[in-house]
Amino acid sequence: MNAIIIFTILLCLMLTGMPISISLGLTVLSFLFMFTEVPLEAVALKLFTGIEKFEIM
């Protein structure tokens, strides 16, 4: 059921003409905030500390 919701949100965002990268990011964030109990501070901390890592590049 969760997979259907994720793909529906992603498809709706992409049909509005939004770029794929932004659609993926907003889909993940909206799913986190709607269906999990992850605190907002934890998400912000992960995003901020992830900027400083360049191992993938």
DSSP string over 14-57: HHTT--HHHHHHHHHHHHHHHHS---HHHHHHHHHHHTT--S--
pLDDT at 54 over 80: no
Amino acid 23: pLDDT = 94
- The residue-averaged pLDDT of 25-51 equals 85
What is the pLDDT confidence band of residue 18, given thresholds at 50, 70 and 90? Answer: very high
Q: Residue 27, class by beta-carbon neighbours within 10 Å (0-12 exposed, 13-18 middle, 19+ buried)?
A: buried
What does the pLDDT read at residue 47?
Answer: 78
Q: CA-CA distances (angstroms) from residue 8 to 14, 26, 31, 43, 47? A: 10, 12, 11, 23, 24
